[in-house]
Structure 1
């Protein structure tokens, strides 16, 4: 009698476990981890476009939906429990949008070409302006060099003497305008007692270019 009772009890346990397993399997199949709203959100995040209402394939364990974008239609399959994309296939290929895309591409290419040509033209204008500016500067410099002549210096002889005397006081013994390698300068000789100074003053800037002082020996 006891043995029979144990066997019956064991059988009931097995039936209970089997029933629980069937219930779990049914529950898992009937209630996937991802809802339709979750699946639609997943699809929108990865494949922007017009998404149809996802349909659950309970047997295979995935949702199926269609996405339309740029005239093309795609079939998307999403795992009902993980949210992973398990299938993606183009079912229809748009024709009108492709033509519009090609038109946009042609327009963009044309715009890029026009912009490139405009940049080249602008560069030519800038180069021409720079060339004219350089020629103008060269002409100005040449005119400036021509002005730097004996009869058109900016520092007068009297001014040069003042500059020299301010450096070395005394009596101006000699002063004359001279040219040295295209540079005009005043050569001025000043005597102060037994000291004698020779100074060169730039005839255009008034800068003292050279100074030499000698002391005469009384003996």
Structure 2
């Protein structure tokens, strides 16, 4: 009879430990294989805010893997977070971008930088910039941003393939690769 009393708690501990291990395995699976693809996340964000995607990043460093998508709508840059597991979208940040030259000059003097993306135009689409980068480095695009540097629009693209990370800066008018870096990210997989 004493053996039964000892066996029941031991069985409960084993079941509880198995459940915890199974749950952590589910989190790892969701992190490596998000239910929502990058393309689906972009569609979800654009459904919520009709505008132009100027930045895109997959973030799995937080507890919940998600996509951070920057959308330019009128004179606002809006960040939308899309949960990679559920597809739920939430606006996390809004920022007014400058549209007039006088306003831009005044704000540059105050902040020291310009974020005027509305007066410049691109000849290369986001998709074309990705194709240019992936022609040089195969892998998954984990970060994409349209940024202004010295009055020149540049696509900043990060590609990952296993432990390798590739970073590109591509001229948004010409499609020229301005900067290319390779990095072995061995810290990323150490636990």
Structure number with the higher helix fraction is 1
Larger Rg: 1
TM-score by length of 1: 0.40
Query: Which gives a bigger RCO, structure 1 or 2 (Cα 8 Å, sep 6+)?
Result: 2
TM-score scaled by length of structure 2: 0.45
